[in-house]
């Protein structure tokens, strides 16, 4: 869906997050005071997956994905579905059908503390998915959960509207109330890192540049 068709408030929120695409998850984690790191066991489900967006939180019962279908059906463009399924790993709660539905709605990606399936089709569709595992087991579509509530996800609390960013290194969540603060800190950190790299290429050492203590007594 093109930006021209989005509501002005949604366009503004999406544009405000584009500035974070220059950073990696580790930089944002450090810039947020070493907070927001998602359990490293939740990984990209296919190589090269990268995601950034506001969180649409979903709490599902184990082995039932009804709430994922309901969340996608009502999702505004640009959000990342962040789902807790009780860390259940014997059923793929998301697959090719939900991916097609999500892309039609303009959903930016999925992060799930559980398993997914149909990953070859998802990769071919270019839809970013981060999951704890892969499983071919089927889900029911009967039990209710909750949408748009704080959830426990990968060892941290995620609130609706927080920002999530992920790549090959993993996932980080930034509190929605701290976005400007974390951005400014990340920008300064990145500039410092680039300066350090430049000086290392000129022959300086990390011991010098980082002020590290020597190993000699």
3-state secondary structure 83-152: EECCCCCCCECCCHHHHHHHHHHCCCEEEEEEEECCHHHHHHHCCCEEEEEECCCCCECCCCCEECCCEE
Spatial neighbors of 18 by CB under 8 A, at least 6 apart, are: none
Task: Tell me what percent of the residues of the chain surpass a pLDDT of 70.
Answer: 91
Please check whether residue 110 lies inside any domain of the structure.
yes
CA distances from 109 to 56, 176, 188 (A): 10, 18, 28
Q: Which of 122, 71, 52, 47 is nearest to 92 (CA)?
A: 122
Please check whether residue 194 lies inside any domain of the structure.
no
Please check whether residue 93 lies inside any domain of the structure.
yes
Supply the pTM of this predicted model.
Answer: 0.88
37: enclosing H helix or E strand: none
Please check whether residue 46 lies inside any domain of the structure.
yes
Please check whether residue 21 lies inside any domain of the structure.
yes
Find the domain containing 163 and state its range: 3-176
**pLDDT tens, position by position, 181-216:** 999 999 999 888 888 898 899 998 889 888 887 655
Report whether 17 contacts 10 (CB < 8 A): no
Please check whether residue 134 lies inside any domain of the structure.
yes
State how many domains the chain has: 1
**pLDDT tens, position by position, 5-21:** 334 444 445 558 999 99
CATH (domain of 168)? 3.50.30.40
Please check whether residue 209 lies inside any domain of the structure.
no
Please check whether residue 211 lies inside any domain of the structure.
no
Report whether 120 contacts 44 (CB < 8 A): no
Residue 36 has pLDDT above 90, yes or no: yes
**pLDDT tens, position by position, 67-115:** 999 999 999 999 999 999 988 999 999 999 999 999 999 999 999 999 9
Q: How far apart are CA 157 and CA 143, in angstroms?
A: 23
């Amino acid at each position: 869906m093109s930006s021209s068709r989005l509501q002005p408030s949604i366009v503004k929120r999406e544009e405000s997050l584009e500035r974070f695409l220059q950073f990696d998850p580790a930089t944002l984690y450090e810039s947020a005071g070493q907070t927001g790191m998602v359990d490293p066991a939740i990984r990209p489900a296919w190589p090269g997956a990268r995601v950034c967006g506001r969180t649409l939180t979903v709490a599902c019962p184990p082995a039932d994905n009804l709430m994922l279908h309901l969340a996608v059906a009502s999702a505004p463009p640009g959000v990342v579905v962040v789902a807790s399924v009780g860390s259940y790993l014997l059923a793929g709660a998301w697959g090719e059908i939900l991916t097609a539905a999500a892309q039609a709605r303009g959903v930016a990606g999925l992060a799930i503390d559980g398993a997914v399936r149909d990953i070859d089709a998802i990769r071919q569709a270019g839809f970013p998915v981060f999951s704890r595992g892969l499983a071919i087991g089927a889900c029911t579509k009967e039990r209710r959960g909750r949408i748009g509530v704080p959830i426990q996800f990968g060892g941290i609390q995620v609130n609706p509207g927080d920002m999530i960013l992920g790549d090959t290194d993993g996932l980080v969540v930034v509190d929605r109330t701290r976005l400007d603060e974390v951005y400014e800190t990340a920008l300064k950190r990145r500039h410092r890192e680039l300066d350090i790299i430049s000086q290392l290429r000129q022959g300086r050492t990390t011991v010098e540049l980082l002020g590290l203590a020597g190993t000699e007594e």
